[in-house]
A and B are shown apart, each in its own frame.
Chain A
Amino acid sequence: MSSNVAAFNINHYQFLDPSGQLIGANHPAIARDFDRLTEFYELMTLTRTFDKKAIALQRTGKLGTYASCLGHEAAQVAIGATMREEDCFAPMYREYGAQLYRGVKMSEILAYWGGDERGNDFSGPKHDFAWCVPIATQCLHAAGAAMAFKLRNEQRAAVSVVGDGGSSKGDFLEAINAASAWKLPLVLIIMNNQWAISVPRSKQNSAQTLAQKGIAGGLPSIQVDGNDLIACHWAMEKALERARSGQGASVIEMVTYRLSDHTTADDARRYRDNEEVDKAWEREPLKRLRAWLEASDAWNEDKQQALEADCVNRVNEAVEEYLALGYPGNEGMFDYMFAQLPHDLQAQREQALRELPAQPEGHH
């Protein structure tokens, strides 16, 4: 004899379809809050303008390897817009839209990818984690932050983002497990952009969704259209409210598409068809939000042109600021290693400052 002891389902949510039509019933209030939607659209546009410029800087030798966020703008801005200042963000390495909303400066993002640790001492919330390159480790840092908030009875949530590739890592699964065991105020977002460098989503595993990994840990888990700002915003608000009110963690799979190469060091033409990318462009997030705003008389071509000009200006200013940052100074290799520099490192510091040129050759 057997009986069903557990069952699950994963719902997919979409409110704004690729053509910019509001679909279904019971739309969240944000769908008609045009002031805020306009604000989000403007930041999404700024994010994309910045991204394009960063790639151009890399191509002209003014920036190191850079990870583009092209196509992720709606999801990222929704994350940034729904979090509060006191919440804690543990990003991976391309969540610029969320970080710009939280006050990180474009010049700081450029500084980091431009090989300068000072970019990590950013203007966003001081408690936010820095960019996280090793894949999925940030999920556990967010879980630890959530644990700290819970132990101190603070009404704060931690939010982390992992990719479809990162969702295969133990760190992500251990974060789900921990969040479940301790009912942590945590939101784990799987930014499913279909590609982990050259490995497609279908090769990560054969489950119908990535969201259902959260179900295994007992967390409410949903999938949303990650190119639909309204759906992402709605899902984040719900998950954050749940976290802050002590009900525990959630998993949100945001289904989007990496329209760019993995980084500027990658060439996606080696492993994916242009046809697939062209199709993905039809679903991209800015176009549909603009269409919805225009259909609602909240946006027009004049505003668009003014916005684009403004974004270019702001990005150019950020680039100037970045290029003017200068060399950090050799002591920067040592001075932040420990609160108090141990004697052996002190000796190495003295030697380095004595024998190294003040700047590496060719620095400009």
Chain B
Amino acid sequence: MANLTLVEAVTQALAWELEHDDSVVVLGEDVGINGGVFRATNGLQQRFGDQRVIDTPLAEVMIAGMSIGMAAQGMKPVAEAQFMGFIYPMLDHMICHAARMRHRTRGRLHCPMVLRAPFGGGIHAPEHHSESTEALFAHIPGLRVVIPSSPLRAYGLLLAAIRDPDPVVFLEPKRIYRQYKEEVPDDGEELPLDVCYVLRDGTDITLVTWGAMVKETLQAAEQLAAQGVSAEVIDVATIKPLDTETIIESVAKTGRCVIVHEAARTGGMGAEIAAQLADAGLWHLHAPVKRVTGYDSVMPLYKMEMQYMPSVQRILNAVSEVLEVS
């Protein structure tokens, strides 16, 4: 069994599917001999050849459009957008075609593709390399949006995403690509694409998060425990469809909720979760739901990026506000 980082688990999942399903191809800029700028496709072209792991011309619209064309004709393309900041030219194809192909043809055609992209801040990257805009995709009917936060979940969720007969946007939190290693059995076992993960049980407050912010949120929970506060931590993992049941169940127990995400606040997924709580969990709540998020300002260049992103302290501040309400 291999001890893997998150990005290595991505590679392992890609290799498994390339090995076991002839219709799977990996394509993107620099995914071939270079193994991807983050090495997510490291060694795959050497192992599976350049007909399965395909370096594309530098053209994002083309990568998305051709992936849709291939998917509609029976292949399972796993396309890489090199950074989420370069994904926007692909939106036209993802929204106007990938997301609606099955629907608008009454199932005659469908689009089993995965669009992978590293996202999020905190690695001192240049401009346009640090945003978190997962809510853009979550808003689009017909897309699934998945964000793994551990090597194990990266492996199982990516396998499921590739096997899913519909388009999946798979966003990889690059700040924790190499945060830690864990045992990831290469057994081809997929994880469901519609459940949240309770990472830590608690009784006093529910902390809901995803992606790289799982790290700070768990640290906050640890510090809260030292202060005698028992925090439950949920990794949403599948942003769309959202497993509201697990979140509401947790809040039914704790009565309090803080949502943590890196993305800007307005219209972020935190808003959707808060709305779901207001709709179906209001009578469980003892205090207002708070969000700890990026600001509604442009993601700063790297000198200031850590100020932009939720810190352990900002999470603790929100938690103490929520706990003060009796």
| B-binding residues in A (CB < 8 A) | 88, 90, 117-118, 120-122, 126-127, 129-130, 133-134, 137, 139-149, 151, 158, 170-171, 174-175, 177-178, 181, 332, 336-339, 342-345
Q: A171-B61, A178-B57 are in contact. Are A141 and B72 (CB under 8 A)?
A: yes
Partner of A145, one of B61, B72, B97, B245: B72
Q: When chains A and B are docked, how far (Å) is the Cα of A344 from the Cα of B102?
A: 18
| A-binding residues in B (CB < 8 A) | 25, 51, 56-57, 59, 61-62, 64-75, 77, 89, 92-93, 96-97, 102-110, 141-142, 144, 164-166, 194, 241-242, 244-245
Q: A178-B57, A337-B102, A344-B244 are in contact. Are A130 and B109 (CB under 8 A)?
A: yes
9 more CB-based (< 8 A) A-B contacts, given A127-B109, A130-B108, A343-B241 = A120-B106, A122-B108, A141-B65, A144-B77, A145-B70, A151-B51, A174-B61, A181-B56, A339-B110
User: Hey, which chain B residues are within 8 Å of A117, CB to CB?
Assistant: 103-106
Chain A interface SS verdict (over half): helix
Whole-angstrom distance from the CB of A203 to the nearest CB of chain B? 23
Q: Is the CB of B241 within 8 A of A345?
A: yes
Q: A127-B73, A137-B96, A174-B61 are in contact. Are A337 and B68 (CB under 8 A)?
A: no
User: Hey, which chain B residues are within 8 Å of A178, CB to CB?
Assistant: 56-57, 59, 62, 66
User: Hey, which chain A residues are within 8 Å of B74, CB to CB?
Assistant: 148
User: Hey, which chain B residues are within 8 Å of A170, CB to CB?
Assistant: 61, 89
Of residues A120, A121, A174, which shows the largest number of chain B Cβ atoms within 10 Å of its Cβ?
A: A174
Residue of B nearest to A146 (CB): B69
Q: When chains A and B are docked, how far (Å) is the Cα of A1 from the Cα of B105?
A: 58
Residue of B nearest to A132 (CB): B97
Q: Is the CB of B69 within 8 A of A143?
A: yes
Partner of B69, one of A126, A145, A181, A332: A145
User: Hey, which chain A residues are within 8 Å of B142, CB to CB?
Assistant: 337-338
Q: When chains A and B are docked, how far (Å) is the Cα of A126 from the Cα of B103?
A: 15
Q: Is the CB of A121 within 8 A of B105?
A: yes
Q: When chains A and B are docked, how far (Å) is the Cα of A15 from the Cα of B165?
A: 48
Q: When chains A and B are docked, how far (Å) is the Cα of A151 from the Cα of B93?
A: 22
Whole-angstrom distance from the CB of B20 to the nearest CB of chain A? 17
Whole-angstrom distance from the CB of A192 to the nearest CB of chain B? 22
Q: Is the CB of A174 within 8 A of B109?
A: no
Q: A117-B105, A171-B61, A337-B141 are in contact. Are A137 and B92 (CB under 8 A)?
A: yes
Q: When chains A and B are docked, how far (Å) is the Cα of A196 from the Cα of B57?
A: 29
Q: A148-B73, A149-B73 are in contact. Are A339 and B65 (CB under 8 A)?
A: no
Q: When chains A and B are docked, how far (Å) is the Cα of A344 from the Cα of B97?
A: 22
Q: Is the CB of B68 within 8 A of A140?
A: yes
Q: Is the CB of B241 within 8 A of A140?
A: no
User: Hey, which chain B residues are within 8 Å of A147, CB to CB?
Assistant: 66, 69-70
User: Hey, which chain A residues are within 8 Å of B165, CB to CB?
Assistant: 338-339
User: Hey, which chain B residues are within 8 Å of A171, CB to CB?
Assistant: 61-62, 65
Instruction: Name the 7 nearest CB pairs between A and B, nearest first.
Output: A144-B69, A140-B65, A342-B241, A144-B66, A141-B69, A121-B106, A174-B62
Whole-angstrom distance from the CB of B191 to the nearest CB of chain A? 15
Q: Is the CB of B25 within 8 A of A151?
A: yes
User: Hey, which chain A residues are within 8 Å of B108, CB to CB?
Assistant: 120-122, 126, 130
Chain A to chain B contacts (Cβ below 8 Å), 14 pairs: A118-B106, A127-B109, A133-B96, A140-B64, A141-B66, A144-B68, A144-B69, A144-B70, A145-B72, A151-B25, A178-B59, A338-B165, A339-B102, A339-B165
Q: When chains A and B are docked, how far (Å) is the Cα of A177 from the Cα of B65?
A: 13
Q: A129-B109, A141-B72, A149-B73 are in contact. Are A174 and B241 (CB under 8 A)?
A: no
Q: Is the CB of B69 within 8 A of A336?
A: no
User: Hey, which chain A residues are within 8 Å of B77, CB to CB?
Assistant: 144
User: Hey, which chain B residues are within 8 Å of A344, CB to CB?
Assistant: 241-242, 244
User: Hey, which chain B residues are within 8 Å of A145, CB to CB?
Assistant: 69-70, 72-73
Whole-angstrom distance from the CB of A132 to the nearest CB of chain B? 8
User: Hey, which chain A residues are within 8 Å of B57, CB to CB?
Assistant: 174, 177-178, 181
Q: Is the CB of A90 within 8 A of B166?
A: no
Whole-angstrom distance from the CB of B107 to the nearest CB of chain A? 5
Of residues A90, A133, A181, which shows the largest number of chain B Cβ atoms within 10 Å of its Cβ?
A: A181
User: Hey, which chain A residues are within 8 Å of B56, CB to CB?
Assistant: 178, 181
Q: A117-B104, A121-B105, A339-B110 are in contact. Are A140 and B66 (CB under 8 A)?
A: yes
Whole-angstrom distance from the CB of B106 to the nearest CB of chain A? 4
Whole-angstrom distance from the CB of A321 to the nearest CB of chain B? 17
Q: When chains A and B are docked, how far (Å) is the Cα of A175 from the Cα of B66?
A: 8
Q: Is the CB of B107 within 8 A of A121?
A: yes
